[in-house]
């Protein structure tokens, strides 16, 4: 059984998933000038948008409630108004459960911007148009939080390695057991390595963890 088929049985088709993400994903704009973003337009389109003008590095756990963040580098962190957004992004990505981050800046040149943009999943330069902002948000929600996309990515990676039927069945079973809570994800890497040393167990584990979080988001909001 392919993981894509398993996930499709749980969440439905692509249109259903995209509608679900648009309606239920929690999005934050962290910028000292939120008026530079088309907030009302995005809210009218059905997205759940909150704005945060500034935040302390000590309150970073507050951001883990969001599924996607649009983050500026300047003027948003209390401890460092010049480039605190970079440190905030480093801390978010340095621990588990990080939201998807779109790095945003109006600066024309700054050496720190290179690292800032590299750490984020995507980037935007100001000024920001309504259509581009919406497209960027929806693209990244689907790429990073769609269970169907993530399952398809897993199937694609697994398909690059020659496995016999028994190996493939064992691997898919291990992943499903992890997704359904019968196997701790911390044990998954070892189980994958046992199936085949040719598989990148760390990369597969990383995607499975993201898929599990995406399914939990989907299931949690479905039961509300």
150 forms beta bridges with none
Residue 95 has pLDDT above 60, yes or no: yes
Residue 111 has pLDDT above 70, yes or no: no
Task: Compute the average pLDDT of residues 192-199.
Answer: 95
CA dist., res. 155 & res. 152, Å (int)? 5
Kindly compute the dihedral angle of the four CA atoms of residues 58, 60, 113, 47, in this order, to the nearest 10 degrees. -150
CA dist., res. 85 & res. 107, Å (int)? 13
Decide: 160 and 141 in contact? Cβ < 8 Å.
no
Decide: 215 and 7 in contact? Cβ < 8 Å.
yes
Residue 17 has pLDDT above 90, yes or no: no
Among the ranges given (103-107, 121-125, 167-171), the one the predictor scored with the smallest mean pLDDT: 103-107
Residue 49 has pLDDT above 80, yes or no: yes
CA dist., res. 33 & res. 139, Å (int)? 24
Residue 222 has pLDDT above 60, yes or no: no
At residue 224 the predicted structure's pLDDT band, cuts being 50, 70 and 90, is: very low
Q: Which fold has domain 14-145?
A: Rossmann fold (3.40.50)
**Two structure tokens written together for 165:** 């039927």
Task: Compute the average pLDDT of residues 184-195.
Answer: 91
Query: In terms of Cα–Cα distance, which of 165, 170, 162 is closest to 199?
Result: 162
How high is the pLDDT of residue 186?
78
Residue 107 has pLDDT above 80, yes or no: no
Task: Compute the average pLDDT of residues 42-71.
Answer: 94
Predicted TM-score (pTM) of the model is: 0.84
Residue 136 has pLDDT above 70, yes or no: yes
Residue 184 has pLDDT above 70, yes or no: yes
Residue 223 has pLDDT above 60, yes or no: no
Average pLDDT of the chain, as a whole number:
91
CA dist., res. 154 & res. 207, Å (int)? 7
Query: Beta strand pairing status for 68-72 and 100-105?
Result: parallel
Task: Compute the average pLDDT of residues 158-184.
Answer: 95
Which residue ranges make up each domain of the chain?
Answer: 14-145, 146-222
Token pair 């109006």 is found at 106
CA dist., res. 69 & res. 15, Å (int)? 23
């Amino acid at each position: 059984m392919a993981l894509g088929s398993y996930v499709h049985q749980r969440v439905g088709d692509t249109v259903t998933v995209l509608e679900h993400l648009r309606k239920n994903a929690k999005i934050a704009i962290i910028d000292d000038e939120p008026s530079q973003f088309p907030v009302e337009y995005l809210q009218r389109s059905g997205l759940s948008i909150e704005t945060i003008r500034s935040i302390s590095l000590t309150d970073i756990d507050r951001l883990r409630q969001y599924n996607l963040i649009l983050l500026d580098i300047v003027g948003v962190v209390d401890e460092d108004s010049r480039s605190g957004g970079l440190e905030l992004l480093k801390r978010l990505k340095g621990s588990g459960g990080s939201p998807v981050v779109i790095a945003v800046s109006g600066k024309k040149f700054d050496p720190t911007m290179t690292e800032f943009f590299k750490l984020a999943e995507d980037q935007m330069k100001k000024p920001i148009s309504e259509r581009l902002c919406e497209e960027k948000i929806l693209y990244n929600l689907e790429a990073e939080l769609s269970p169907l996309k993530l399952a398809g990515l897993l199937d694609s990676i697994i398909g690059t390695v020659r496995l016999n039927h028994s190996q493939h069945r064992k691997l898919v079973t291990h992943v499903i057991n992890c997704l359904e809570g019968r196997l701790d994800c911390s044990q998954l890497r070892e189980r994958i390595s046992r199936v085949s040393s040719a598989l990148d167990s760390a990369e597969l584990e990383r995607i499975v963890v993201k898929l599990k979080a995406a399914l939990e988001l989907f299931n949690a909001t479905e039961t509300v």
